[in-house]
Structure formats: structure tokens, C-alpha cells
Copies of this chain bind each other. A is one copy, B any other.
Amino acid sequence: MLKEERQQLILEKLGTDKKVTLVDLGQLLNVSYDSVRRDVIELEDKGLLKKVHGGAIAHSYLSMKPSKGLGIVNTEFVTIAKKALKLLENNKIIIMDGGTTNFYIAEQIPKNLELTIVTNNPHLATALAEHPKIEIILLGGSFYKRYQITIGSKTIQDLEHIQADLYFMGINSISLDNGLAIRHYEESILKQKMMNISRKTVTCVLEEKINRKENYNVCNFTDLSYLITSLSPSDELLNGFKNKGVEIL
């Protein structure tokens, strides 16, 4: 039996039962315990299930619950999150602001990473509560109902004495001539502040946001340290962005 075939069966079983034990799988698929264990590890790396002690549980169970509108796991998110997680190291201070991509990445952070995460997104804060080793700093300020984040001068003031290692900036549009831009003025100011206090800035963008235009400019493309998309770094859609001092992942 092929490995892919086996993994497919694991996912199918998981779809109906919502949970599986490794011992059961081994007997069912007639391979050693170690093989199914490795299968499950691979599937977890792809973000397709959640591995637990003794087995695995369906992903839809645990994550993606009260989040905004994303029901099914968009494969674009999975690819992006995988790249994003490589930038995380123990004991770093990370800023993450609003947006679905950041929310998904946050949920995928391994449980053993020790981090401090600073955010103006209450949903992110409550979702991260399930990560025992992550310290969460929630930024105060006016709560902007539409985007469900805090903004305003108070939020900026809360950032005043923080020095972060990495900033995950959510963004609505990215283009070479207009740089990174979003739809809301006050939020664009906040993002600039977050950039200022972070050693490095990374943005994770969905394909649809490339070469779009929005109203309020946050920064130039070259101000970034990393750009993460679901595409291969060599994809021609990214041609214009290459060799500008921004590492494309």
C-alpha cells in the first residue's frame, strides 16, 4: 500500500470518526505503529489534522471555531502558515495585528514554542489562550467594531515602550509602485507604529491581494524584511518583487 493511499484513508477515517488512535490505525492499515505515527506527523505538518498523545483528532474540531468567515481550511492558508512558522523562535517578541491570515497562523503555532505575542486583536488573544507557553499582551484603545481590533492613539501609546523582534503585518494590498496599503486611515498609522518598533516586518498575503490598490499607504515594499505568499518564491507573478532586499519565502 502506498503511503499517500494510507494517508488518504487516515483522513477519511478522521472525517467520519473525528478521532483515531495510532494503534487502531496500525492494525487497520496493516503497517507498523511507527509508520502510521510518521504519517500522522506528516499530515499534521500539512495542517490537515491535529496530532495528540495516542492518536489524532480532526482539525475542524479544535481550530477554526469562532473565527470570522473561514469555514473550510483554505490550502493557501496552510502553505502560508507553514512558511510563517519558520520565522518563529523561542523567546521572541512578536507583534500580530488583525486579519484572517494572522489568525490562522496564530492558531498553528506549536504548543512548545515560548513566545510573547503582542496584538490588538482580541480574537487572536482568546484563541492563543490555548497555548500554555505564550504570553499575550493585548493592546488597549478604541474598539473598532468593523475589523474587531483596537485602534487609536491609546493603542499607539501602549506600543511606546515595546521593542519587538518580528511584526506580522496584515495587509489588504501590495504593489510595487504603491507599496503596502489598507482601507482605514487610523489603522494605517497604527501599522506604521508597529513597524517602527519591530526589528523586522513580515507580511503574509493571499494571491488576490498582489497588485491591488487601496487608499492608505503604510510603507514601501522595500521596507519589509520578508514577504510570504502561497506561491513559490520563483513564481513569475512575483517577478517585480525580487532582488529588492526583501526575502521572499
Q: Give A residues with C-beta under 8 Å from B.
A: 2-5, 8, 19, 21, 45-47, 52-55, 57, 61, 122-123, 125-126, 128-130, 132, 135-143, 145, 148, 150, 154-155, 158
Q: Which residue of B lies closest to A4 (CB)?
A: B52
| Other-chain contact of A2, B3, B55, B128 (Cβ < 8 Å) | B55
Contact of A122 among B52, B55, B125, B154 (CB under 8 A): B125
B136 touches A142 (CB 8 A): yes
Residues in B with CB closer than 8 Å to A54 are 2-3
Bound-state CA distance A138–B119 (Å) is 12
Contact of A129 among B5, B53, B148, B158 (CB under 8 A): B148
- Chain A interface mostly helix, strand, loop or mixed? mixed
In the bound complex, do residue A142 and residue B135 qualify as a contact, i.e. CB atoms below 8 Å apart?
yes
Pick from B47, B61, B137, B154: contact of A158, CB below 8 A. Answer: B154
User: In the complex, are the beta carbons of B122 and A140 less than 8 A apart?
Assistant: no
A55 contacts which chain B residues (CB < 8 A)? 2
Specify which of B19, B122, B123 is in contact with A5 (CB 8 Å cutoff): B19
Q: Assembly of this chain: how many copies?
A: 2
Contact at A140–B125, with CB atoms within 8 Å? no
A143 close to B138 (CB less than 8 A): yes
Q: Which B residues lie within 8 Å of A140 (CB)?
A: 137-141, 150, 154-155, 158
Do A3 and B52 have beta carbons less than 8 Å apart?
yes
A122 to B125, CA, bound (A): 9
CB distance from A102 to the nearest CB of B (A): 16
Q: Hey, which chain B residues are within 8 Å of A5, CB to CB?
A: 19, 57
- A184 to chain B minimum Cβ distance, whole angstroms, is 16
CB distance from A99 to the nearest CB of B (A): 16
A57 with B2: CB separation less than 8 A: yes
Instruction: Give the shortest distance, in Å, between A78 (CB) and chain B (any CB).
Output: 21
